[in-house]
């Protein structure tokens, strides 16, 4: 893991706008029609495989529990399927149904469609332990039962308490630094705070808004060793489940990408698509650029003058 910058500059002091809380959403915008035709059918398949891996990792004994948020009317069918895998399913919370990406759950209103949050576990004892931790608000105990590394559980508890419920910037500060841009207050010219970090695809959570990830938690750094170790087990399962999709999953997470947040909206830029999602209500613009090695650039990647696109210099190489 890289040397942390936290505490050495003002960069760790992300000011938040009080009361700003945008509704759940996730909009995908493609860099070209060619990219949309090739990749739009693929992303849902990758996301579905990741969801399958969440439960399969419990069945294989990699962790005690998994959290699943599903449509309430789908619970009987899925509970039966999980029982066939010798797993216990325990509903613990009814929440408002939503589309897109959400950082928190809302209480459903009368007459609305609802989702149910279910704990899938190897034993009823583990499921009940998780429910008790959830009721008491013990995030560390919940994370432990979900198989999250200790360092990342500590990171989550600390950042969540400060209101950073989408702590991508804070994880970047803990990561291996490649470049720090000179700060400027000119929003149009450059972000107020901007970093480029060296990441590992297994510890990259930026695409989780679209269900694309290998780890199932928020890593404390983009090169967190414990996250990489745990996520490697998931990738091994993915290779068994669908080798072709596993390769695509790793490739997507190996693309250069950026996370750009301002006033509660984050824009994720990749060479083939953008994601526009609700995020932390940052008062000033913060940008994290992530590069992985080896880098993956799909054939349909856009060409442009800057990160994360193919530049003219790269095209001539």
Q: Tell me the pLDDT of the chain (317 aa) as tens digits.
A: 444 444 344 577 899 999 998 888 999 999 999 999 999 999 999 999 999 999 999 999 999 999 999 999 999 999 999 999 999 999 999 998 877 777 777 788 887 889 999 999 999 999 999 999 999 999 999 999 999 999 999 999 999 999 999 999 999 999 999 999 876 555 454 568 999 999 999 999 999 999 999 989 999 999 999 999 999 999 999 999 999 999 999 999 999 999 999 999 999 999 999 999 999 999 999 999 999 999 999 999 999 988 999 886 554 43
Q: If you ran DSSP here, which 8-state letter would residue 26 be given?
A: -
The DSSP bridge partners found for residue 286 are 193, 261
Same structural domain, 140 and 160: no
Q: Integer distance in angstroms from the first to the last C-alpha of the chain?
A: 31
> Is residue 121 domain-shared with residue 219, that is, in the same domain?
no
Pairwise CA distance, residues 167 & 152, whole Å: 11
Residue 4, domain member (yes or no): no
Pair 177, 50 in one domain = yes
Q: Which of 197, 202, 282, 263 is nearest to 237 (CA)?
A: 202
Report CA 41 to chain centroid distance, whole Å: 20
Residues 141 and 279 in one domain: no
Is residue 123 one of the residues assigned to a domain?
yes
What is the Cα–Cα distance from 114 to 98, expressed in whole angstroms?
A: 8
The domain boundary residue, chosen from 101, 117, 146: 146
pTM above 0.75, yes or no: yes
β-pairing, 65-71 vs 286-292, is unpaired
Tell me which residue range forms the domain holding 244: 10-63+149-316
Q: Same domain for 233 and 98? A: no
Count Cβ atoms below 10 Å from residue 181 Cβ, excluding itself: 14
Domain-located, residue 239 = yes
Contact 309, 265 (CB under 8 A): no
Residues 112 and 249 in one domain: no
One domain, residues 194 and 229: yes
Helix (H) or strand (E) holding 118: strand 114-121
Is position 2 within any domain? no
Structural domain contains residue 46: yes
Burial (Cβ within 10 Å: 0-12, 13-18, ≥19) of residue 298: middle
Beta bridge partners of 25: 101
191 belongs to a structural domain: yes
| In a shared domain, residues 157 and 274 | yes
| 20 alpha-carbon distance from chain centroid | 21
How many helices (H) and strands (E) would you count in the chain?
10, 10
Question: Which of 146, 170, 205 is the last residue in one of the domains?
Answer: 146
Do 93 and 207 lie in one domain? The reply is no
Q: Are residues 180 and 239 in the same domain?
A: yes
Structurally, how many domains does the chain consist of? 2
Residue 1 domain-assigned?
Answer: no
């Amino acid at each position: 893991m890289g040397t942390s910058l936290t505490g050495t500059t003002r960069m760790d002091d992300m000011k938040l706008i009080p009361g700003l809380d945008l509704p759940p959403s996730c909009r995908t915008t493609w860099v070209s029609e060619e990219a949309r035709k090739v990749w739009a059918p693929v992303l849902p398949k990758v996301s579905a495989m990741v969801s399958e891996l969440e439960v399969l990792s419990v069945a294989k004994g990699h962790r005690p529990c998994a959290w699943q948020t599903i449509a309430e009317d789908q619970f009987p069918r899925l509970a039966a399927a999980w029982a066939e895998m010798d797993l216990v399913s325990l509903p613990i919370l009814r929440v408002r149904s939503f589309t897109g990406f959400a950082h928190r759950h809302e209480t459903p209103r009368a007459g609305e469609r609802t989702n149910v949050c279910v704990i899938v576990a190897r034993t009823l004892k583990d499921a009940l332990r998780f429910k008790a931790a959830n009721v008491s608000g013990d995030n560390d105990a919940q994370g432990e039962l979900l198989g999250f590394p200790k360092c990342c559980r500590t990171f989550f508890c600390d950042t969540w308490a400060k209101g950073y419920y989408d702590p991508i910037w804070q994880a970047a500060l803990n990561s291996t630094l490649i470049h720090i841009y000179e700060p400027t207050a000119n929003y149009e010219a450059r972000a107020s705070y901007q970093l480029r970090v060296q990441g590992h695809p297994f510890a990259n959570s930026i695409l989780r808004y679209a269900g694309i990830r290998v780890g199932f938690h928020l890593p404390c750094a983009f090169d967190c060793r414990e996250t990489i170790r745990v996520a490697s087990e998931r990738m091994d399962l993915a290779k068994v489940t669908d080798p072709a999709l596993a390769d695509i999953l790793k490739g997507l997470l190996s693309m250069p990408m950026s996370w750009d947040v301002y006033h509660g909206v984050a824009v994720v830029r990749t060479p083939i698509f953008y994601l526009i999602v609700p995020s932390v209500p940052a008062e000033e613009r913060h940008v994290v650029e992530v590069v992985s090695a080896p880098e993956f650039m799909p054939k349909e990647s856009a060409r442009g003058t800057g990160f994360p696109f193919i530049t003219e210099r790269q095209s001539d190489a």
